[in-house]
């Protein structure tokens, strides 16, 4: 199975501006903890004062399953040493019973016929193995899963927030939204859209200056710790390698250059400044923007320039489109969920209109948002 990518969005109830600096720091800490516990990967994110965006890669369960050692390591993220040790002991005891053959089973099968000793041992081992798996499943069912990642993150943050502010009740407006995103161009575009949130809001002119975003953390956090994690997520998004073995952390400089171009930012610094071509923050014209590209790459840069202009606006498709990607990707997702649509609907891919029109022929949506796009 291949990893699946989702753009998730959640808003504070009443859309009040409740998430200050301390709240955003705590949310990010919990997000990273959930990432380690579940085995999912945060590609990028943006935490605003009344909502959040996360581009999340939900990875499949490792081939061969989650080993006991890895399971206990992940449990250590949220549980104390004593509780992890108790879980480990419970698993060991169940496994030991299986190996020793110390079972307490009725000597008859389901037909009332006496079991041979070999049949008793086989039945007992099956029961003990099922007991071990039941213990493991209690925790592994919450891993490599979008819903469990978001449930853990939002519930833990709400509990902390309510305790800190002496409040009760829900903190989030309805259930979080999610959009399935194809890897490659669609994921890179969605990531740029997410990291440009504070620029669209007029908070900063360069997304690198915003602390609570994937790109801001990748730039400001450096090559270690969470800065390294943020860089890894963006390298994964931009390069889109076939395997994790092909990820090269020393490629960050080139990846950052490509990513800045996708966001509509200058390829080079001129006179000590970065020129942004996005609407409302234009300090560089098209000619200056292209100056940073070699002649043989300008044909690649111009389409990016058009897409970057699109990202300067709110694009409803990126939050309400359900599925975003190439025409083939969207149609494949439509076929898998065919029962959810009427018989009159022949295919899934719909052209993006309005503020998403710049992506025509490149990105498609499974929803046709005709109003207010």
Mean pLDDT of 205-214: 94
**Does residue 153 carry a pLDDT above 70?**
yes
Q: With bands split at pLDDT 50, 70 and 90, how would you rate the model's confidence at 202?
A: very high
How far apart CA 302 and CA 256 sit, in angstroms, is 18
pLDDT of res. 297:
43
pLDDT of res. 45:
98
**Does residue 109 carry a pLDDT above 70?**
no
pLDDT of res. 274:
40
pLDDT of res. 119:
67
Q: With bands split at pLDDT 50, 70 and 90, how would you rate the model's confidence at 180?
A: very high
pLDDT of res. 278:
46
Digit-coded pLDDT (tens) for 218-232: 999 887 888 999 999
pLDDT of res. 270:
42
**Does residue 124 carry a pLDDT above 60?**
yes
Digit-coded pLDDT (tens) for 331-365: 999 988 888 888 888 888 999 988 888 888 899 99
Say what the pTM is.
Answer: 0.84
Mean pLDDT of 34-44: 96
Nearest to 187 by CA among 179, 177, 176, 198: 179
User: Going by C-beta distance under 8 Å and a sequence separation of 6 or more, which residues neighbour residue 4?
Assistant: 57, 58, 146, 180
User: Going by C-beta distance under 8 Å and a sequence separation of 6 or more, which residues neighbour residue 256?
Assistant: 218, 219, 234
Mean pLDDT of 82-106: 75
- Looking at 126-130, 139-143, 195-199, which range is the least confident one? 126-130
Mean pLDDT of 254-260: 90
Q: With bands split at pLDDT 50, 70 and 90, how would you rate the model's confidence at 60?
A: very high
Q: Is 268 in a helix, a strand, or coil?
A: coil
pLDDT of res. 269:
40
Digit-coded pLDDT (tens) for 268-301: 444 444 444 444 444 444 444 444 444 344 334 4
Mean pLDDT of all residues belonging to the chain: 83
CA dihedral of residues 62, 63, 64, 65 (deg, nearest 10): 20
The fraction of the chain above a pLDDT of 90, given in percent, is 53
Mean pLDDT of 228-240: 93
Nearest to 238 by CA among 207, 200, 269, 192: 192
Q: With bands split at pLDDT 50, 70 and 90, how would you rate the model's confidence at 262?
A: confident
In the chain, the DSSP E strands lie at 4-11, 41-47, 51-58, 177-181, 323-325, 350-351, 364-365
Mean pLDDT of 51-70: 94
CA dihedral of residues 256, 4, 67, 104 (deg, nearest 10): 160
**Does residue 105 carry a pLDDT above 70?**
no
Structure tokens at 345: 């609907």
How far apart CA 134 and CA 302 sit, in angstroms, is 55
Q: With bands split at pLDDT 50, 70 and 90, how would you rate the model's confidence at 250?
A: confident
CA distances from 214 to 56, 153, 331 (A): 12, 17, 30
Nearest to 171 by CA among 26, 371, 372, 327: 26
**Does residue 304 carry a pLDDT above 90?**
no
**Are the CB atoms for 355 and 310 separated by under 8 Å?**
yes
**Does residue 132 carry a pLDDT above 70?**
yes
pLDDT of res. 83:
95
């Amino acid at each position: 199975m291949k990893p699946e990518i989702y753009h998730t969005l959640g808003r504070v109830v009443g859309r009040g501006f409740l998430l200050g600096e301390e709240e955003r720091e705590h949310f990010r800490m919990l997000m990273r903890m959930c990432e380690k516990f579940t085995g999912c990967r945060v590609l990028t994110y943006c935490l605003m004062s009344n909502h959040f965006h996360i581009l999340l890669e939900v990875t499949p369960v490792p081939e061969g399953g989650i080993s006991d050692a890895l399971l206990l390591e992940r449990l250590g993220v949220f549980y104390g040493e004593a509780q992890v040790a108790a879980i480990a002991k419970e698993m060991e005891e169940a496994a030991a019973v299986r190996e020793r053959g110390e079972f307490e089973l009725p000597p008859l099968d389901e037909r009332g016929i006496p079991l041979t000793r070999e049949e008793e041992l086989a039945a007992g081992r099956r029961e003990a193995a099922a007991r071990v798996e039941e213990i493991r499943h209690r925790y592994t069912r919450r891993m490599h899963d979008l819903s469990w990642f978001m449930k853990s993150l939002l519930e833990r943050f709400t509990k902390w927030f309510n305790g800190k502010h002496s409040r009760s009740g829900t903190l989030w407006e309805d259930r979080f939204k999610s959009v399935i995103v194809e890897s490659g161009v669609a994921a890179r575009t969605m990531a740029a859209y997410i990291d440009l949130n504070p620029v669209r809001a007029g908070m900063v002119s360069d997304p690198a200056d915003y602390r609570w975003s994937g790109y801001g953390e990748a730039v400001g956090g450096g090559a270690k710790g969470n800065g390294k994690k943020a860089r890894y997520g963006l390298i994964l998004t931009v390069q889109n390698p076939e395997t994790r073995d092909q990820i090269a952390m020393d490629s960050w400089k080139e990846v950052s250059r490509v990513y800045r171009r996708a966001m509509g930012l200058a390829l080079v610094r001129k006179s000590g400044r970065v020129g942004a071509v996005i609407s409302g923050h234009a300090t560089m014209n098209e000619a200056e923007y292209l100056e940073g590209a070699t002649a043989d790459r300008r044909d690649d840069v111009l389409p990016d320039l058009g897409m970057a202009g699109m990202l300067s606006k709110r694009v409803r498709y990126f939050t309400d489109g359900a599925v975003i990607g190439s025409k083939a990707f969207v149609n494949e997702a439509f076929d898998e969920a065919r029962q959810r649509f009427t018989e009159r609907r022949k295919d899934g891919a719909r052209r993006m209109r309005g503020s998403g029109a710049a992506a025509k022929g490149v990105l498609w949506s499974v929803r046709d948002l005709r109003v207010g796009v």
